[in-house]
Amino acid sequence: MFHTILECSAQVVASLKKSGKEIVEFDVKELFGRLTTDVFFGTHFGILCNSVEEQTNEFYTIGQKATNFLGFWLKVRFIVIQVFPIVARVFGLRIFDQNVTNFFRLLVKNNIKSRKSQQIARPDLIGIIMKSENNPDNIELTDEILTALVATFFGAGFDTVSSALMYTFYELSCNSVVQQKLLDEIDANKDNFTYQTVMEMQYLNMVVSETLRKWPVGFFLERQCVKPYRIPALKDDEVEVQLKVGDGIWVPLYALHRDPELFSDPDRFDPERFNPENKKNINQYAYMPFGNGPRGCIGSRYALLVLKVAIFQILQSFSVRPSKNMLPLQIARSYLQLLPKDKMLLDFRRRN
């Protein structure tokens, strides 16, 4: 997996260098969406789709359809599925449209068939699925279940990684001191770039952690109440809330991570919040970019690895700054995700 991520990140670096210019402008929202597509299909299916280079790449197009929640009725459909699942089943509402579902169904089926015929064994998602076919509980893994599993993994991982990369590079472009400290750490480790090295780089981890605080890509958590619980009114203008078993709960991560009572000057990008000394003072339930406890995101380690490898690889060769053509950052209200309204244009400058 590590080497696949390295290869995909190297393609991004090659694409940035392709023009031969010292400074190149890129829309990082699209660039990192393509990188995330390549990494996902490479690490989960063993497919090198190269959407970074191919503008009309089928895998990237499907990825955009699978994660596009733009538009009023798409948002209504998503909310009904989440809040009223019985109603959604009655009316046959689905998160993914039929084209996306058919694409993933055929991809899984053909990938498994090819591996069986050629006796290929890989330690990836499809490999795990193939091993699970002989599960001791004799649970039948139907095409519907396998398709839902793969599509869910893609939907959950795509926005997490691509958005986090986009906002990391945006914040670095706006904070030259932070960027230089990170460049110095990368330069100090560039001759010993291994999985262990990148995961133990302290300042890189601080930068990623602060990005996920300020820009939580999963901007709310979903939970279901399993026992009666009373939320007391702590202030005069608050009302007591009594939760019943089965009640759905949405925890607004964006509000939590930007709460000035939990994080001082919360709108400021400050990786020092997560240095070894300050990190100890952060309440574990105030900072939850991947959730917490047994229901936490199972893909968090994968997401962090992709983030750190991509950041390291790109910043080895380039520094970043906002493009003169970039509009002031505004969050789009038409999306269900925390995404910018316009293109996020950054200048990548070659380093010596």
Q: What pLDDT is attached to residue 159?
A: 77
Q: Is residue 299 a contact partner of residue 292, using CB atoms and an 8 Å limit?
A: no
**CATH (residue range 2-217+296-350):** 1.10.630.10
Q: Residue 338: how many CB atoms within 10 A of its CB?
A: 18
Whole-angstrom distance, CA of residue 289 vs CA of residue 220: 9
Whether 44 and 126 have beta carbons less than 8 Å apart is answered as yes
241 backbone dihedrals φ, ψ, rounded to 5°: -120, 130
Sign (positive/negative) of CA torsion 276, 281, 285, 287? negative
Residue 297 CA to residue 216 CA, distance in Å, equals 13
Rg (CA), the chain: 21
Q: Along the 352 residues of the chain, how does pLDDT read in single tens digits?
A: 888 999 999 999 999 998 889 999 999 999 999 999 999 989 888 888 889 888 888 888 888 877 776 666 677 777 787 777 788 788 777 777 778 888 888 888 888 888 888 888 777 777 877 777 666 666 667 777 777 778 777 877 777 899 999 999 999 999 999 999 999 999 999 998 899 999 999 999 999 999 999 999 877 888 889 999 999 998 888 899 999 998 888 889 999 999 999 999 999 999 999 999 999 999 989 999 998 888 788 788 889 999 999 999 999 999 999 999 998 888 887 666 788 888 999 999 999 7
Can you tell me which residue has the tokens 């015929």? 117
Q: What is the model's pLDDT at position 337?
A: 74
297 is in an annotated binding site: yes
In sequence order, the β-bridge partners of residue 9 are none
Domain boundaries, given as residue ranges, for the chain: 2-217+296-350
pLDDT score, position 22: 93
In terms of C-beta density within 10 A (0-12 exposed, 13-18 middle, 19 or more buried), how is residue 52 classed?
buried
Nearest Cα to 212, choosing from 260, 241, 154, 171? 171
d(CA 178, CA 207): 8
Under DSSP, the state recorded for 326 is P
Give the residue from 215, 210, 214, 201 showing the smallest Cα distance to 309: 201
Q: Angle, to 10 degrees, between the axis of helix 125-132 and the axis of helix 143-174?
A: 160
3-state SS string over 181-213? Answer: HHHHHHHHHHHHCCHHHHHHCHHHHHHHHHHHH
